[in-house]
Structure 1
């Protein structure tokens, strides 16, 4: 019989076994599960929490189990993680319910002995506290569930306290933003709709078109979505477009554009007047750009397939504005995609930084004289951001940094740290071609 916990277990097992993305795998399991909306919410909370705190949960299990954790069967290990998460992090679930439901699952997937083992381990965890490691990097790893290598890197780059604040913030629930499509409705008119529908909201102080909302599910099912009155978009993505500051009638290139959030906001800022080339390497993603543009009533976007790592001579000196929102480690969006932090290594960061610089150098060739190039990433590592700005300026003497017009002190680049600005972690720099 399906319920919230068995649905979460199925998703978690598939994520662990095949490295599937949590959002994709969970949606697949929820769509196929015949359970109530309340159970779907519970399954979602357990699934996300178990992934988010995996290293921390395993530390509890190691301290309470008579069997080494790598000897515990995959299903039972995941059931234990789910149980520990409910006991330690979900205040509304009684310990007895967390233990009893975990035991039922363990018996179903491992037999009576597994049920007894899970019962003993979870009861021991419920009645005791763990002592965190004294070493600073190990403490951060266990407390905030980040691989040790990343903890050491963050301490090296930012210092212990700053690294701690970044990791702590990444465990919070992500803020959900929508962008009001001012081509169809004003922000004030849309806020009146939200008031009428009883949707709680908060306007962003950094971007006038951005609104934080409480009931995204309701809005997506409402008529306002197909009517194109809003677009679901991260605040950081909107800010990159605001920083680009494209002018009406301009020519724009949006590199790595799918699914079209940035391109459509650029079009909105241009009042749907000008020309936007929205490029991506995958054909199915190009289709998403076209679909989103159509829903939002935008007709100046030209979706096109292009490999950003390959030089495109047809684009040389062609664009007034170029937005390079580049592939990166994604560590700035761990609160939305917690599985990211377990797979990123220093070697990955270095390789991605090299790729980013290669693409950025290509993009420089596409900017007209006097034109603008904005470089952005959904991460905050110095390797991928600040260091690449220095390398880019050394390799492109015809570009200079241009101060970003925001109420934030800057010299042409800003690292948005989540615990300071309340955004995703991201980096952006603005250049102008000066030759």
Structure 2
């Protein structure tokens, strides 16, 4: 796998909005949460590649990127609180999150072998499944599967679906 980049933010948002994860939020809130998830994946990717700290990345996104217009898509509609909480919590809880994801990889595979973007998607999804029980597991899985599909295609989307489904079974026991 390679570190894929989508053609444009608008193309990614169009793909995400075509996904099926109904939530008890208004359409505007749903879109803001979807944008926050996408930006969260981008921030995790950036932190891993550059070694930039979480507070610096949050400040950069909030101060500069959310107010910008990228490929015709205004970023100001992101749920900034959800994004910031997610970034901080994923960094703080990485010692809990990574084993959850690793336990769902094929035998012999390590988290470090995965593409950086896929790793960011799985960490964000696992965080939400473990630490945000207020969000339905179908919503979480569907949103991150759609993000994977937008960046890569069906193979990675199926992989993300299987991994997050497994994490959900581990952390959201009935």
What TM-score comes out, normalization by structure 2 length? Answer: 0.68
Please state how far the C-alpha of 1:98 moved relative to its aligned partner: 0.8
Q: How many residues align?
A: 128
The residue number in structure 1 matching 2:138 is 96
- Residue 91 (structure 2) aligned to one of 27, 48, 51: 51
What TM-score comes out, normalization by structure 1 length? Answer: 0.28
Q: Contact 1:3–1:35 (CA<8 Å) still a contact in 2?
A: no
Equivalent residues in 2 for 1:282-361 (5 A)?
none
The residue number in structure 2 matching 1:35 is 76
SS at match of 1:128: helix
Using the alignment, how far apart are the partners of 1:71 and 1:109 within structure 2?
18
Runs of at least 4 residues off by over 6 Å: none
Using the alignment, how far apart are the partners of 1:56 and 1:110 within structure 2?
26
Greater fraction helix: 2
- Kindly report the root-mean-square deviation, in angstroms, between the aligned alpha carbons of the 2 structures: 1.6
Please state how far the C-alpha of 1:36 moved relative to its aligned partner: 3.2
Greater relative contact order (Cα < 8 A, sep 6+): 2
Q: Contact 1:99–1:122 (CA<8 Å) still a contact in 2?
A: yes
The residue number in structure 1 matching 2:27 is none
Using the alignment, how far apart are the partners of 2:40 and 2:170 within structure 1?
26
Using the alignment, how far apart are the partners of 2:139 and 2:62 within structure 1?
22
Using the alignment, how far apart are the partners of 1:54 and 1:109 within structure 2?
23
- Unaligned 5+ residue runs, structure 1? 130-435
The residue number in structure 2 matching 1:118 is 160
The residue number in structure 1 matching 2:147 is 105
- Unaligned 5+ residue runs, structure 2? 1-12, 14-33, 67-74
SS at match of 1:91: coil
The residue number in structure 1 matching 2:50 is 18
Using the alignment, how far apart are the partners of 1:26 and 1:53 within structure 2?
17
SS at match of 1:92: coil
The residue number in structure 1 matching 2:101 is 61
Please state how far the C-alpha of 1:65 moved relative to its aligned partner: 1.3
Q: Contact 1:8–1:26 (CA<8 Å) still a contact in 2?
A: no
Q: List per-residue Cα deviations over 1:83-129 (Å, max 9, x = no partner).
A: 01100111221111110111011112222111000000111111125
Using the alignment, how far apart are the partners of 1:93 and 1:51 within structure 2?
20
- Residue 3 (structure 1) aligned to one of 35, 38, 42: 35
